[in-house]
């Protein structure tokens, strides 16, 4: 199994396609918690929600992902249109805006995306995985929506209590200006940008040799880039680069640095600059970004041997893409967009590990009461009672046996965390009561049948 | 456009694959309401939730869907495994049980499934659509889980207030027994069953000629079937068929009728027989059913010209499939299962039409307050205030403009249904207050800044 390297525990078996997995009820319970935190944040920021099909016309995805296009899943040609599974939620969003002539929207979208990643190079990564996207489309004053996207990342990562994190920020215009002043030919901007993007996984020496060896960049240009991409900091670095004799002469870089300064002013008002780093090595691989780009990484706690906290992987990313919607509009009308995507697979696995370690018992159902009987031949009475409870909105279960043992019924409650048992017996039926047992304390009380619903509600409402 | 026949309103354009659609924020709001009703019911019955990948190994789906297998979407062979998009949620569930050696579970699963339906024959049907499945797996006493599945359909269709409905019930064993006593050769059972399945769309004469002409059944056998399949009723019909001189001699039919009688006893305890009809014409096309089968249809209200209410389409279906899990187990170990699938696309469109007709205004966001200003140069103050509100968990928005007009800010609230506006101005800042305006009444009060969060919470909490 290439996902878990050695032991195929839950993710994979010969019956599941490579790179995919089922979610068990326990995993779903954790997944719902994470989704709730994220959706709550998106709604706090006034987002609407949309949904799009899992596949798009193949041509919709063509030319949007640069070198990564080879990872797109195509459907078989069975007659009719050529289709591909979506690779992200951003391109379908841009297609949706263009198709419906929407020029102004703030929306979120949570759905699975598909990438034919090479097993060998991507241990621990899935071919089917969730993205949680929040995007703001429309013509607005500079950097206000961009700052809100960063605030959202900050809120979500803080809420989920995943430990320390850092949000790296850069701007495609600063990168392009930097490439220009370093002497990279225009035609090589995108491919050199892809190389810079690998700096979070490879040392500079390897990236440099890819630039010079594979991509034919001059060693001088590469070395010049090497000086810039080790820079990271805050407002002070922005000021410094605005004075940089070469960069300050480049129109694109100057624009990008000016906006970066404005962004940091807004982030200061939001009180979140402590976790933001302007980082010239951040490039992001996707072709469609045109302005601000960012990526959030979780940090390993510092220890005695390491001076700076070490990144353990990206959990969110995004940026501005002002040209993408125009690619789908017959007249090329542009709709400026900025957005963020939360990559929650890594967040799931961190929380899953934490639950395992803590031995926290996670309930996978919400059942309030088990309808049980102590004697035989009471199936009909159990069914009548549970039907009354269901009709009153009580979450109730019954064992699917004609004559279950009381012990087995109580054990079922222990196993699944059901807090109450409603027991019917000959005597109770005669007296018009039901015996209500609290599983945790073994306390038992007789409750008049007409008061049972109210009693269960009272005992299971959260404090 | 083949979906909406003439006018391409919202479902389709040249940019969307045939048979798929986007969901707009308004459609999503309606969709969430329906999902909530369904999930609430599934949880009331103690179900856990699972999820599986959108595609399965092609071989997993092979031989499970009879004549409908031609509608399966295959992925392109790009190296590696052969994959297909899931056709329903039942086969992936069975594969999940076998793979994880689960013999006992009650779960729901809500996800999209994929069918390459022929445009010409399926106006108004989608190629990508949701299914909401609830299934009970395990070895239990007869008909108790089966009865619960019917109770669930009854609860959901009642909750959603879709108008009158009828749940038709039959049993594959009764059908097979009937075929045997009518003289259908064993080898033709499945294909004749497919023909019977068409009785809800075609008159008997056409179905008969398909049986005799295309499928080579003898006219006598067909006519004999024709007599049975017009029967429908309740307990009385079951008793009558248990006395039928031919059927009562057939072991399978007798078993099926005995269980049907038990089922009706349980449904009587649940108080829902009023909407259940034992109907010998119900066949359901899928190969994997082995016992009880059922289908819920919405009824058009009776009018003067029509004696019986007319069915306007199936909204739920299901049945027992005791052999499916065994097909995935190397040793063929069986896990008996029964389940129901709610087909919610039709439910969506009914509710969508109802919302359109009622002119009910549906909010697509939950924003509680817009942070606004009446004067220029207050963007920084707006951002500081909204940041405070977000941090306190208030759902808040701000216009992304440096100097928006107050009128535009108020108009935005009118358009999107935001109930409150928090207005900052020079004087308010000096006084340490915020002006809180109620959009509906135009009432304005000054609130001390430190009390603002509490005041907004109080004014927007539901009664």
Asked if A141 and B15 come within 8 Å (Cβ–Cβ), the reply is no
CA distance A444 to chain B (A): 23
Asked if A44 and B396 come within 8 Å (Cβ–Cβ), the reply is yes
CA distance B47 to chain A (A): 6
pLDDT of res. A119? 57
Query: From the candidates A1, A3, A17, which should be mutated to test the interface with B, based on the most B CB atoms within 10 A?
Result: A17
Instruction: Pick A23's closest partner by Cβ from B21, B51, B77.
Output: B51
Please check the confidence at residue A435 and state whether its pLDDT lies above 70: yes
- As a whole number of angstroms, the distance between CA A281 and CA A301 comes to 22
pLDDT of res. B300? 75
Q: How distant, in Å, are the alpha carbons of B192, B211, B215 from that of B218?
A: 12, 8, 9
- As a whole number of angstroms, the distance between CA A12 and CA A24 comes to 12
Please check the confidence at residue B332 and state whether its pLDDT lies above 90: no
CA distance A162 to chain B (A): 18
pLDDT of res. A40? 98
User: Which residues in chain A are contacts of B100 at CB distance < 8 A?
Assistant: 10, 22, 24
Asked if B128 and A54 come within 8 Å (Cβ–Cβ), the reply is yes
User: Which residues in chain A are contacts of B32 at CB distance < 8 A?
Assistant: 49
Instruction: Pick A365's closest partner by Cβ from B48, B77, B140.
Output: B48
Mean pLDDT of B256-283: 97
Asked if A51 and B155 come within 8 Å (Cβ–Cβ), the reply is no
Query: Which long-range contacts does A79-82 make (Cβ < 8 Å, 24+ apart)?
Result: A80/B18, A80/B116, A81/A57, A81/B17, A81/B18, A82/A57, A82/A58
Q: How distant, in Å, are the alpha carbons of A350, A351, B247 from that of A300?
A: 12, 15, 73
Phi and psi at residue B76, to the nearest 5°: -70, 145
Burial B156-167 (b: 16+ CB within 10 A, else e): bbeebebeebbb
- As a whole number of angstroms, the distance between CA B296 and CA B167 comes to 4
pLDDT of res. A304? 53
Instruction: Pick B15's closest partner by Cβ from A49, A60, A105.
Output: A60
pLDDT of res. A19? 86
pLDDT of res. A6? 40
pLDDT of res. A122? 47
- As a whole number of angstroms, the distance between CA A333 and CA A296 comes to 31
Please check the confidence at residue B66 and state whether its pLDDT lies above 60: yes
A89 is in an annotated binding site: yes
Mean pLDDT of B274-299: 93
Asked if B73 and A74 come within 8 Å (Cβ–Cβ), the reply is no
- Nearest chain B residue to A23 by CA distance is B51
- Nearest chain B residue to A80 by CA distance is B18
- As a whole number of angstroms, the distance between CA B160 and CA B162 comes to 6
- Nearest chain B residue to A59 by CA distance is B15
Q: What mean pLDDT is reported for chain A? A: 91
B288 is in an annotated binding site: yes
Three-class DSSP labels, chain A? CCCCCCCCCCCCCCCCCCCCCCECHHHHHHHHHHHHHHHHHHHHCCCEECECCCEEEHHHHCCCCHHHHHHCCEECCCCCCCEEECCCCHHHHHHHHHHCCCCCEEEEEEEEEECCCCHHHCCCCCCEEEEEEEEEECCCCCCHHHHHHHHHHHHHHHHCCCCCEEEEEEEHHHHHHHHHHCCCCHHHHHHHHHHHHHHHCCCHHHHHHHHHHHCCCCHHHHHHHHHHHCCEECHHHHHHHHHCCCHHHCHHHHHHHHHHHHHHHHHHHCCCHHHEEEECCCCCCCCCCCCEEEEEEEEECCCCCCCCCEEEEEEEEEEECCCCHHHHCCCCCCCCEEEEEECHHHHHHHHHHHHHHHCCCCCCCCCCEEEEECCCCCHHHHHHHHHHHHHCCCCEEECCCCCCCHHHHHHHHHHHCCCEEEEECHHHHHHCEEEEEECCCCCEEEEEHHHHHHHHHHHHCCC
User: Which residues in chain B are contacts of A31 at CB distance < 8 A?
Assistant: 51
Contact A298, A154 (CB under 8 A): no
Name the residue among A398, A384, A347 with its Cα closest to residue A129. Answer: A347
DSSP category for residue B144: H
Mean pLDDT of A381-392: 98
Asked if A23 and B367 come within 8 Å (Cβ–Cβ), the reply is no
Asked if A25 and B365 come within 8 Å (Cβ–Cβ), the reply is no
- As a whole number of angstroms, the distance between CA B441 and CA B348 comes to 34
- pLDDT digit string (tens) for A285-326? 778 999 999 999 998 765 555 555 556 678 999 999 999 999
Beta-sheet pairing, A165-171 with A276-279: parallel
pLDDT of res. A15? 80
pLDDT band at A124 (very low <50, low <70, confident <90, very high): low
- As a whole number of angstroms, the distance between CA B235 and CA B258 comes to 11
- pLDDT digit string (tens) for B29-56? 999 999 999 999 999 999 999 999 999 9
B135 is in an annotated binding site: yes
Please check the confidence at residue B269 and state whether its pLDDT lies above 70: yes
Q: How far apart are the first and last CA of chain B?
A: 46
Contact B418, A301 (CB under 8 A): no
User: Which residues in chain A are contacts of B144 at CB distance < 8 A?
Assistant: 379, 383, 398, 400-401
CA distance A164 to chain B (A): 18
Asked if B53 and A95 come within 8 Å (Cβ–Cβ), the reply is no
Asked if B140 and A364 come within 8 Å (Cβ–Cβ), the reply is no
The 10 Å Cβ neighbour count of residue B155 is 22
Asked if B266 and A383 come within 8 Å (Cβ–Cβ), the reply is yes
A115 is in an annotated binding site: yes
pLDDT band at B187 (very low <50, low <70, confident <90, very high): very high
A415 is in an annotated binding site: no
CA distance B435 to chain A (A): 21
User: Which residues in chain B are contacts of A46 at CB distance < 8 A?
Assistant: 365, 367, 395-397
pLDDT band at B123 (very low <50, low <70, confident <90, very high): low
Mean pLDDT of B393-408: 97
- As a whole number of angstroms, the distance between CA A76 and CA A83 comes to 8
Contact B319, B289 (CB under 8 A): yes
- pLDDT digit string (tens) for A62-109? 988 887 889 999 999 998 899 999 999 999 999 999 999 999 999 999
User: Which residues in chain A are contacts of B112 at CB distance < 8 A?
Assistant: 54
- pLDDT digit string (tens) for A14-66? 688 888 889 999 999 999 999 999 999 999 999 999 999 999 999 999 988 88
User: Between chain A and chain B, how many beta carbons pairs sit less than 8 Å apart?
Assistant: 222
- pLDDT digit string (tens) for A439-463? 999 999 999 999 999 999 999 997 5
Please check the confidence at residue B266 and state whether its pLDDT lies above 60: yes
- As a whole number of angstroms, the distance between CA A77 and CA B460 comes to 53
pLDDT band at B421 (very low <50, low <70, confident <90, very high): very high
List the structure tokens of A34. 């994470």
Query: From the candidates A400, A402, A411, A421, which should be mutated to test the interface with B, based on the most B CB atoms within 10 A?
Result: A400
Burial of B301 (0-12, 13-18, 19+ CB in 10 A): exposed
Rounded to 10°, the helix A189-197/A172-181 angle is 110
List the structure tokens of B62. 């092979």
List the domains of chain A with CATH numbers. Answer: 25-358 (3.30.930.10), 369-460 (3.40.50.800)
CA distance A193 to chain B (A): 28
Query: From the candidates A71, A76, A79, A403, which should be mutated to test the interface with B, based on the most B CB atoms within 10 A?
Result: A76
- As a whole number of angstroms, the distance between CA A321 and CA A290 comes to 5
Please check the confidence at residue B303 and state whether its pLDDT lies above 90: no
pLDDT band at B16 (very low <50, low <70, confident <90, very high): confident
- pLDDT digit string (tens) for A131-177? 999 999 999 999 999 999 999 999 999 999 999 999 999 999 999 99
Please check the confidence at residue A248 and state whether its pLDDT lies above 60: yes
User: Which residues in chain A are contacts of B460 at CB distance < 8 A?
Assistant: none
Query: From the candidates B114, B269, B345, B404, which should be mutated to test the interface with A, based on the most A CB atoms within 10 A?
Result: B269
CA distance B246 to chain A (A): 32
Please check the confidence at residue A123 and state whether its pLDDT lies above 60: no
pLDDT of res. A11? 39
pLDDT band at A2 (very low <50, low <70, confident <90, very high): very low
Question: In terms of pLDDT, which residue wins out, A97 or B313?
Answer: A97
- pLDDT digit string (tens) for B130-139? 999 999 999 9
pLDDT band at B11 (very low <50, low <70, confident <90, very high): very low
- Strand partners of residue A278: A169, A233
pLDDT band at B65 (very low <50, low <70, confident <90, very high): confident
pLDDT of res. B311? 60
- As a whole number of angstroms, the distance between CA B174 and CA B247 comes to 8
CA distance B99 to chain A (A): 7
CA distance B71 to chain A (A): 10
The rounded radius of gyration (Å) of the Cα atoms in chain B is 28
Asked if A401 and B140 come within 8 Å (Cβ–Cβ), the reply is yes
A186 is in an annotated binding site: no
The rounded radius of gyration (Å) of the Cα atoms in chain A is 28
A114 is in an annotated binding site: no
Percent of residues, chain B, with pLDDT higher than 70: 93
- As a whole number of angstroms, the distance between CA B314 and CA B291 comes to 20
pLDDT band at A232 (very low <50, low <70, confident <90, very high): very high
Mean pLDDT of A1-15: 46
pLDDT band at B309 (very low <50, low <70, confident <90, very high): low
Mean pLDDT of B23-33: 94
pLDDT band at B439 (very low <50, low <70, confident <90, very high): very high
């Amino acid at each position: 199994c290439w996902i878990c390297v050695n032991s195929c525990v839950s993710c994979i078996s010969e019956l599941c396609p490579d790179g995919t997995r089922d979610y068990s009820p326990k995993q779903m319970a954790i997944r719902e918690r994470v989704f709730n935190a994220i959706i709550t944040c998106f709604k706090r920021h006034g987002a609407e929600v949309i949904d799009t099909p899992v596949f798009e016309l193949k041509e919709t995805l063509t030319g949007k992902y640069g070198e990564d296009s080879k990872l797109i899943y195509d459907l078989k040609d069975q007659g009719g249109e050529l289709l591909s599974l979506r690779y992200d939620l951003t391109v379908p969003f841009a297609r949706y805006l263009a198709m419906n002539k929407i020029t102004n929207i703030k929306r979120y979208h949570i759905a699975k995306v598909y990438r034919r990643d090479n097993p060998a190079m991507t241990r621990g990564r899935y071919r089917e995985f969730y993205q949680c996207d929040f995007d703001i489309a429309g013509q607005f004053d500079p950097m206000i929506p961009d700052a809100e996207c960063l605030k959202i990342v900050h809120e979500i990562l803080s809420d989920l209590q995943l430990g320390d994190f850092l949000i790296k920020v850069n701007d495609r215009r600063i990168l392009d200006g930097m490439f220009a002043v370093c002497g990279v030919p225009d035609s090589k901007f995108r491919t050199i940008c892809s190389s810079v993007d690998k700096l979070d996984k490879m040392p500079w020496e390897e990236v440099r040799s890819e630039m010079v060896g594979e991509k034919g960049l001059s060693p001088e240009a590469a070395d010049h880039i090497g000086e810039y991409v080790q820079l990271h900091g805050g407002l002070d670095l922005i000021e410094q680069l605005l004075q940089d004799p070469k960069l300050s002469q480049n129109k694109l870089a100057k624009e990008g640095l000016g906006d970066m300064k404005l962004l940091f002013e807004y982030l200061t008002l939001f009180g979140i600059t402590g976790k933001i780093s302007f980082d010239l090595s951040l490039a992001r691989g996707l072709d469609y970004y045109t302005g601000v780009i960012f990526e959030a990484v979780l940090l390993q706690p510092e220890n005695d041997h390491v001076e700076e906290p070490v990144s353990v992987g990206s959990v969110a990313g995004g940026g501005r893409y002002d040209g993408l919607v125009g690619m789908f509009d017959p007249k090329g009308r542009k709709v400026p967009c900025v957005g963020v995507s939360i990559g929650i697979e890594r967040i799931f696995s961190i929380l899953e590990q934490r639950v395992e370690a803590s031995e926290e018992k996670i309930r996978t159902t919400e059942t309030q009461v088990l309808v049980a009987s102590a004697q035989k031949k009471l199936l009909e009475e159990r069914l009548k009672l549970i039907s009354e409870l269901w009709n009153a909105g009580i979450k109730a279960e019954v064992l699917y046996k004609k004559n279950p043992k009381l012990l087995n019924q109580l054990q079922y409650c222990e196993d699944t965390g059901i807090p109450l048992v409603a027991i019917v017996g000959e005597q109770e039926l005669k007296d018009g009561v039901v015996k209500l047992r609290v599983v945790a304390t073994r306390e038992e009380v007789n409750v008049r049948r007409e008061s049972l619903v109210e009693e269960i509600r009272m005992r299971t409402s959260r404090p």
